[in-house]
Amino acid sequence: MWNSNRPPREIFDEIERRELTEDPAESAFAMKGDWDGKPWDPPARQQPGVYAWGEAHLLLAYIVQFEATQDPRYLDTFVRRFKMLLSLRDDQVGRVDEVRGRIMPGWGSVRFSTQPPHQGKYTSWAVHVGMILFPAARFVHRVESNPTLSIRYAADSQVFRTAIIESLTAYEDQWHERQPAGSGDIEGFYTEPMTGAAPLPLNMMNTLGRIMLELHLASPNSRYLDRATKLARFLKNRLVLRPDGAYQWAYRPGLEPPFDAGAEDFSHAALNADFMVQCFHADIVFSQEDMEHLLQMLLAVVYRGQGKFADFINGSGDQNRFADTIAWWGELASINRQVATLIRERYEIRPHPAGGPGGLLAAAMLGKYGY
């Protein structure tokens, strides 16, 4: 299916015809089962937070595919599928967040509840809400910025915007601000009841930052701009510039330096990189120089040639564990089109046919950036 002679749209549409069902996608590269191919236990519909790592990628793929083709049929599919996810939101079915002790407008799970004393408890992680709602926020941005689309999808856009705001508001008590020593710029971060008072891992917080920035770009909103800016500062303040000119950061750095201990895995790091690119294009915190350091990390430190990538962003790890998630880095192609070449290269040599949400997103990114 993946070869240099096939247009990305043709690949996207073939994956869609061959694999898409009416049920939400349960993992990144398969419509059913977890990342090991096993059934979710409990089933995914009983812990819909797991769709953050499956259907959320698929939903984003449809938004990117629209951006690549300007064909509203992809938005039609997005709308239908996102409405299905909204119907599974915990407040729609009466599921109680057992950690917070209340019903949340989010998508909970038990699979990730491993921290004592909350092992096995049903809870709605902020990161899962962020992953699931980001494509919807991008939909709102695209629709409300286009006179034709704003008429066609007026009702849907309003429903989705309202749902997004409901979810963001539910996490207000997890937001914190601080002024770092020696700096006049306030930074912000989120916490999670499951994990205590320490800041969440960077990628978890920045899934919410991406949403707020999209809503601001759709309709200027000083509150969301302020939040996204403070999250961006928190991230940038924890980036380490290596001697080779590449950025590096830890998975969960603390409030105070030093910040040079450890390196995030290539998969989760993509969420932070995507937030950086989004901020750069909006002229928030990150500069062209920052993008060059980010590209240096990807192209010179992580990439190992022939579709292979280090497991961590400091170049360590040789299992090629997260190589398929190069598609998650696709928006960096807006800075350097070589990133699109890396996506095509990886998916052409992948041992098994690259379909599912990940394959759709890869094809959409290639179409968007003119491969």
At 94-144, the pLDDT tens digits run: 999 999 999 999 999 999 999 899 999 999 999 999 999 999 999 999 999
Please tell me the pTM assigned to this model: 0.97
Residue 31 has pLDDT above 80, yes or no: yes
**Residue 97 per-residue DSSP state:** B
Highest mean pLDDT among 4-18, 126-140, 341-355: 126-140
Q: Quick one: pLDDT at residue 371?
A: 74
CATH number at residue 148: 1.50.10
End-to-end CA distance of the chain: 16
Whole-number mean pLDDT of the chain?
96
Q: How confident is the model at residue 1 (pLDDT cuts 50, 70, 90)?
A: confident
Q: Quick one: pLDDT at residue 8?
A: 95
Question: Tokens for 214?
Answer: 């999209």
Cα distances (Å, whole numbers) of residue 341 to 19, 184, 367: 25, 41, 12
Q: Quick one: pLDDT at residue 88?
A: 98
Residue 182 lies inside a defined structural domain of this protein: yes
Question: Tokens for 134?
Answer: 């980001």
Instruction: Report phi then psi at 30, rounded to 5.
Output: -155, 145
Q: How confident is the model at residue 250 (pLDDT cuts 50, 70, 90)?
A: very high
Residue 1 lies inside a defined structural domain of this protein: no
Residue 2 lies inside a defined structural domain of this protein: no
Residue 353 has pLDDT above 80, yes or no: no
- Residues 121 and 99: their CA atoms lie apart, in Å, by 7
Structurally, how many domains does the chain consist of? 1
Helix H segments across 88-125?
90-93
Residue 186 lies inside a defined structural domain of this protein: yes
CA dihedral 327→259→317→28, nearest 10 degrees, is -30
Q: Quick one: pLDDT at residue 354?
A: 80
Distance of CA 275 to the CA centre of its chain: 8
Residue 3 lies inside a defined structural domain of this protein: no
Q: Which domain holds residue 225?
A: 8-368
Q: Quick one: pLDDT at residue 350?
A: 81
